[in-house]
Amino acid sequence: MNPILSLREHSVLTLTLNRVDKKNALTQEMYSLLHRELQQAAQDDAVRVVVLQGQQDLFSSGNDVSEFLQRPPGGLDTPVFDFLRSLADFPKPLIAAVGGPAVGIGTTMLLHCDLVYCGDNALFSLPFVNLGLSPEAGSSLLLPLRVGPAAASELLLFGEPFSADEALAVGLVNRVLPPEQLLDYAQAQARRLAAKPSASLVLTKQLLRKGQREAVHAAIADEAWQFARMLQGPAAKEAFRAFLDKRKPDFSGL
């Protein structure tokens, strides 16, 4: 089964996370496929808008833990960072449709999207501190810009799940919908955008993000180094041992 489904209709490319049996946990293969699709879409004049989605009740549980622990990202030339850079640099409108859990990178990738719609069943999570890690995907830069410094501090420092309504209140998402309407609504919005002048869409996005590109790339690189360092630390090792043992981690003295 293909873990990433790709469908183009009405000048809209829809990329669907399709690893439902593993809660759409992201693997290096999936990152490679997403990177390739975004790179091709950026160069394809027939694609005007991209929609990134899961299912109406599931977006992504984050990185595949087993693969992540066996093969942690070793540098910026790995599939996950290829994907993040292609996401950050994507020149055309990018819409995300989020239903159900969006954990870790399932939330941070949304910061690179232009429009985010979610179901009222969405549950976002930025659990990096609770795993003995640090922010990733440029989120230490982009989250404060999106939701404000105070809200970003609360979301990242506590790392507690937050609801669709809370995400709307801080400005992480554009609209909350009944889950059964989510995917159709995102497609309708994508088609509305695709009917507009493509050059105007691209230029408007470029102007909205003017001056951010170098800062975003620098943040992704800095966070990658810090994340890799923290992953080898005692707190992260205890957090992942506790996760695998299905117990609460003990960070006393760490």
CATH code for position 144? 3.90.226.10
Which residues have a Cβ under 8 Å from the Cβ of 92 and sit 6 or more positions away? 41, 42, 47, 48, 49, 50, 198, 201, 202, 205
Q: Please state, in angstroms and as integers, the Cα–Cα distance from residue 226 to each residue in 64, 172, 196, following that order.
A: 20, 25, 41
Q: Residue 67: which domain range? A: 1-178+194-254
Q: How far apart are CA 226 and CA 136, in angstroms?
A: 9
> Among 145-159, 180-194, 209-223, where is mean pLDDT lowest?
209-223
Average pLDDT, the chain: 94
Is residue 68 domain-resident? yes
**pLDDT tens sequence across 64-109:** 887 777 777 666 788 999 999 999 999 999 999 999 999 999 999 9
* Between residues 123 and 64, the one the model is more confident about: 123
Is residue 184 domain-resident? no
- pTM (2 decimals)? 0.94
Task: Convert the pLDDT of each residue in 130-143 to its tens digit.
Answer: 999 999 999 999 99
Residue 87 resides in a domain: yes
Q: Could you tell me if residue 205 is inside a domain?
A: yes
Mean pLDDT value across residues 107-115: 98
Q: Would you say residue 185 lies in a domain?
A: no
Task: Give the number of C-alpha atoms closer than 13 A to the C-alpha of residue 119, restricted to the C-beta side.
Answer: 22
Distances in whole angstroms, Cα of residue 229 to Cα of each of 66, 131, 234: 19, 13, 11
pLDDT at 74: 64
- Quick one: pLDDT band at residue 28, thresholds 50, 70, 90? very high
CB 2 within 8 A of CB 17: no
Q: Is the separation of the CB atoms in 118 and 164 below 8 Å?
A: yes
Number of domains in the chain: 1
Q: Is residue 112 included in any domain, yes or no?
A: yes
Question: Is it the case that residue 16 has pLDDT exceeding 70?
Answer: yes
Q: What is the mean pLDDT of residues 225-233?
A: 89
Residue 80 lies in a domain: yes
pLDDT, position 250: 85
Q: Find residue 119's DSSP bridge partners.
A: 177
Does residue 143 lie within any of the structural domains?
yes
Q: How many residues are recorded in the chain?
A: 254
Least confident of 3-12, 40-49, 128-137, 239-248: 239-248
Q: Confidence class of residue 245 from pLDDT cuts 50, 70 and 90? A: confident
